[in-house]
Amino acid sequence: MSEDLSGIPTDELIQNMHDDLYDGVVDGVAAGTNELLRRGLTPSEVMNQALVGGMDIVGVDFRDGILFVPEVLMAAKAMKSGMEILRPLLANTGAEQIGTMIIGTVKGDIHDIGKNLVAMMMEGAGFKVVNLGINCDADKFLEAYREHQPEILGMSALLTTTMPYMDTVIKRFKEEGLRDKVIVLVGGAPLNAAFAEEIEADAYCRDAAVAVETAKKLIAIRRGH
Ligand code: B1M
């Protein structure tokens, strides 16, 4: 999709980007992202409609055994090319710094697209974000807590087999006497509010926008306003 995109209707362009994401065409996704921004779509609209929408289709065919890991990795690479273009736009809203968040994908799990999206949106909302990456064990979260003294600890898990590790992290924070000092937000496709409650996280966040809202709300409550 390196041709002139200006004549393609927006709906069709988004559809083409879904196809390019599905096929792992990095340049096509990057070019489409730039073109949608040029047309005046907001960075969030481009992210949700073109990128997340495309990855949802990949997810369905991955689940159904139509796509396999190598193809999904290519799709992830294409998605990241679009996210890189959006990152500075989402992260530079000039918002006043509200607080600090550490965030990581838990041990055993290497999915990082959603977690990175949450990190970007939190930065855009005025948080300092320390992104700990993937496969984070409890020690890594604890070390980062001690170094950065964040108000928010965010954890992401995309696998039903790794989500229980969030409980391990929270228990370690309790053992170290640190649990009450930090707001714990959790997210990822297999989670829900009941799970968050069960492991005594402060909240489950369905998506990045909810993570931002919830973080702001819980910080305000904690600060007493
Ligand atoms: Co994987 N994978 N994957 N995968 N993969 C899933 C998660 C799966 C649902 C696919 C499926 O079967 N339909 C399935 C899990 C099934 C289950 O456990 N119930 C699965 C599987 C099985 C696997 C492997 C085991 C496959 C294998 O090897 N046989 C393997 C595991 C590797 C491991 O982690 N140890 C694996 C590997 C991979 C790739 C490496 C190929 C690649 C990851 C690349 C990368 O991330 N760099 C990959 C991908 C891309 C997916 C799917 C297709 C897409 C995930 C994604 O990026 N979505 C996924 C299918 C799906 O989820 N529908 C799938 C887009 C992203 C924007 O959404 O991550 O949900 P999401 O994030 C959202 C919210 O969930 C929330 O906000 C985000 C933005 O709105 N959120 C948070 C997420 N984290 C948050 C943290 C917060 C708050 C909100 O903190 C406060």
> What secondary structure does DSSP assign to 117-130, as a single string?
HHHHHHHHTTEEEE
Beta strands in the chain (DSSP E): 99-106, 127-136, 152-156, 183-187, 203-205
Backbone angles phi, psi at 215, to 5 degrees: -60, -45
| Structure-token pair, residue 189 | 């496709």
Cβ–Cβ under 8 Å, residues 119 and 104: no
pLDDT at 1: 44
Q: What is the pLDDT of residues 141-199, one digit of tens each?
A: 999 999 999 999 999 999 999 999 999 999 999 999 999 999 999 999 999 999 999 99
Q: Choose the residue to mutate in 62, 67, 218 for probing ligand 1, maximizing ligand atoms within 8 Å of C-beta.
A: 62
pLDDT at 126: 86
| Structure-token pair, residue 167 | 């409980």
Alpha carbons 49 and 67: distance in angstroms, whole number: 21
Q: Tell the residue nearest (CA) to atom 52 of ligand 1.
A: 59
pLDDT at 177: 98
Alpha carbons 75 and 79: distance in angstroms, whole number: 6
State whether CATH 3.40.50.970 applies to domain 2-93. no
Q: What is the pLDDT of residues 26-46, one digit of tens each?
A: 999 999 999 999 999 999 899
The residue type of 35 is E
Cβ–Cβ under 8 Å, residues 134 and 164: no
Domain 100-222: state its class. Answer: alpha beta
Average pLDDT, integer, range 1-21:
90
Q: What is the pLDDT of residues 65-112, one digit of tens each?
A: 999 999 999 999 999 999 999 988 887 666 677 899 999 999 999 999
pLDDT at 4: 86
Task: State the pTM of this model.
Answer: 0.93
Give the DSSP H/E element, type plus range, for residue 8. Answer: none
Q: What is the pLDDT of residues 206-222, one digit of tens each?
A: 999 899 999 999 999 99
Cβ–Cβ under 8 Å, residues 152 and 182: yes
Question: Residues lining ligand 1, judged by CB closer than 6 Å?
Answer: 52, 55, 58-59, 62-63, 69, 72-73, 76, 103, 108-115, 117-118, 154-156, 158-160, 185-190, 205, 207-208, 211
Domain ranges of the chain: 2-93, 100-222
Cβ–Cβ under 8 Å, residues 82 and 29: yes
203-205 and 99-106 beta bridge pairing: unpaired
The closest alpha carbon to 80, from 57, 52, 59, belongs to: 52
pLDDT at 100: 97
